[in-house]
Structure 1
Amino acid sequence: MSPAKLLLFGEYSVLHGSAALAFPYERFSGELVLPGSMSDPDPAWVDSNRSLQELFDYLTTGERIGQSEQILNLERFRSELGEKLFFLSTIPANYGVGSSGSLVASLYRRFGHKNETSPEDLRKRFALIESFFHSTSSGTDPLVCYLNRPVCIRAGSVTTPDITLEELRKHIKINLIDSGTPGQTKTGVSGFTINRQTDPNRADLYESEYIPLVNQVINNIIGKEFETLYSDIQRISTLQLQLFKELFTPDILNKAQACLSDSSGVIKLCGSGGGGYYLHFKPVAG
């Protein structure tokens, strides 16, 4: 089983040089399954098998096939697709908690050539596979799901910090808010990229304030320095409402703005936004 993940900090900015910090989230999980003698296949299994076939076609098209052959046993993958392989998952799709990351991790766990030498090598392999689902992938989500450990991407290197989500929750409350609608990662990434390139003020705020603050929060968490954590997350939320306003659904946008004014917590993106889950933080009493 491959767990879901929570990318707490670094969404979007990790693609432009910031650090990112993600944790496995075992409330949800998924695995690749052969139906075997199951007599009444669920329509969702058929859809999943079709999606896996599309992923296989993507990986074996053009220049990608050479790289894919180095990563996966494609013949076995093809064979099991013919046996109606599907992804059995409790992870909500397009909700920002790593449904595609868990699938990629499960795919590599089942078909991968296990000759990688480092987490960074794994991340590069996962980025290629996950690019089928997203216009751009850092490979971080599948890495978290595969290792089932916290992962930090910082200065181009991958580390597995000595802190768990449970330990972090002793210092700050972390919950998910359901927007009620799935998000669209490709649309979010593309829209953000266009806005960043065409709006100089937004680009400057992003580079000069947002990225350094994300790095600071991640460094403090890894260093287990929590004194300014909540106030820093408040600032991140404020900046996200300026930089990524279009990635908040109308209802969540209203809630996020209200939270900042009435001190009822802090809301920020969970993954790519545009729907799905959002993260809600509150200070721990006492």
Structure 2
Amino acid sequence: MKGPLFYSKILLFGEYGIIKDSKGLSIPYNFFKGALKSEDTLSANAQESNDSLRNYYTYLENLQRSEPGLISFKLDSLKQDVEKGMYFDSSIPQGYGIGSSGALVAAIYDKYAINKITVLENLTREKLLKLKEIFGKMESFFHGKSSGLDPLNSYLSLPILINSRDNIESTSIPSQNLNGKGAVFLLDSGIIGETAPMVQIFMEKMKQEGFRNVLKDQFIKHTDACVEDFVSGNVKSLFGNLKQLSNVVLDHFKPMIPKEFHKLWKQGIETNDYYLKLCGSGGGGYILGFTEDLEKARIALKDHHLEVVYNF
């Protein structure tokens, strides 16, 4: 891969909650990455990406026209590069909840935005919110409404702490303890998830008062506590809150959990060997796992491949 690399991300906490102003914590995940490339002869995958970029060019042209105060692009350069066979060369799996479209958006902004906000500047809250707004509009092309957080994370390659909708900051998280027994891991559901239908289910559920109360009094409460525990390194409290959060998701977000994983999800809560939670919007893709004892979790989940993201 040539050119600047843009990495995948993992929203550790905050899926769905951030729509309703919960806290959130998103970290870059350098295992998967993508970069813009050009070639004369394109493979089938590269051709598909190139075709998608043609449509994206039209979308950005319309965005610039409708919101001239928000963003300007070097549209001529973008058009020429797409016609010359530019595509997004990416190892980030699509539909897995780890920001495949976010990395592409970050790459396009980095190369073609005029007067772009750069990572080297003093990133004030205003600049971060501006970037998030721009990225939200740019990413809407891929799956309807977007918060803009995935591209922001990919662009900055820094952990992002979401305190509320209008209060975000880059943050540091405790250094990994590579010899520690605890871990955050990814579990491959083997199913491609689609964001839009899952968000639709969530929005339908939000029409019920009972669900809104659960979201506010349980889901957001435990999400906020998990974010605070993780950032401050309070592992004992973190796992107490994770168990509660995993339970709430199993009880109230079942449609977002692939059926084959309902039993495993419950087993984790009952044995305390691991706790599972949604990674992104759910419905497939990756499932996030947390364990205080990775070996125990590996044995309990022996039929599944665990990809370790972070060690406690």
Q: Shift in Å at residue 86 of structure 1?
A: 0.4
- Is structure 2 residue 184 aligned with structure 1 residue 174? yes
Distance 2:22 2:65 in 1: 27
User: How far did 1:160 drift?
Assistant: 1.2
| 1:111 Cα deviation from its structure 2 partner | 1.0
State the Cα distance separating 1:266 from its structure 2 match. Answer: 0.8
What TM-score results when the alignment is normalised by the length of structure 2? 0.84
What is the one-letter code of the residue matched to 2:35?
A: E
CA distance in 1, matches of 2:156, 2:112: 16
- Structure 2 residue 43 is the aligned partner of structure 1 residue 11: no
Q: Distance in 1 between matches of 2:86 and 2:233?
A: 43
Q: Is the 8 A contact 2:7 2:103 kept in 1?
A: yes
Residues 180-195 of structure 1 aligned to structure 2 (within 5 Å): 180-195=190-205
Going from structure 1 to structure 2, the CA distance change for 1:91 and 1:115 (only over 3 Å counts) comes to closer
The aligned counterpart of 1:201 is: 210
Instruction: Provide the C-alpha distance between the structure 2 equivalents of 1:66 and 1:159, rounded to a whole number of angstroms.
Output: 25
- Structure 1 window deviating more from structure 2 (177-186 vs 166-175): it is 166-175
Indicate whether 1:133 and 2:142 are aligned: yes
Deviation string, structure 1 residues 17-76 (Cα, Å, up to 9, x no partner): 11110100001000111114xx4x210011001111222222333786434972422222
Indicate conservation of the 8 Å contact 1:135/1:189, yes or no: no
Partner letter of residue 280 of structure 1? G
Counterpart residue identity of residue 72, structure 1:
F
1:192-231 correspondence to structure 2 within 5 Å: 192-197=202-207, 199-231=208-240
Q: Contact 2:174–2:232 at 8 Å: present in 1 too?
A: no
Letter in 2 for 1:25: Y
Partner of 2:309: none
Across the aligned residues of Structure 1 and Structure 2, the Cα RMSD in angstroms comes to 2.2
Aligned residue number for residue 89 of structure 1: 90
Query: Quick check: 2:8–2:103 contact (8 Å CA) kept in 1?
Result: yes
Q: CA deviation at 1:222?
A: 2.1
TM superposition shift of 1:164: 5.5
Hey, what's the Cα distance between the residues in 1 that align with 2:246 and 2:94?
A: 24
Where 1:61 maps in the other structure, the secondary structure is helix
One-letter identity of the residue aligned with 2:171? P
State the SS of the aligned residue for 1:6.
strand
Q: Deviating runs (4+, > 6 A) in structure 1?
A: none
TM-score, length basis structure 1: 0.91
Overall identity of the aligned pairs, in %: 29
Contact 2:64/2:73, CA 8 A, preserved across alignment: no
Q: 1:71 to 1:254 in 2, by over 3 A?
A: farther
Task: Give structure 2 stretches of 5+ with no counterpart.
Answer: 118-122, 295-311
Contact in 2 for aligned 1:34/1:80 (Cα 8 Å): yes
Q: Report the CA distance shift for 1:103/1:63 in structure 2 as closer, same or farther (over 3 A).
A: closer
Paired residues, number: 282
The correspondence of residues 1-286 of structure 1 with structure 2, limited to 5 A, is: 1-36=5-40, 39=41, 41-61=42-62, 65-67=66-68, 70-116=71-117, 118-155=127-164, 156-163=166-173, 166=176, 170=180, 172-197=182-207, 199-284=208-293
Aligned-partner Cα distance in 2 for 1:69–1:151? 22
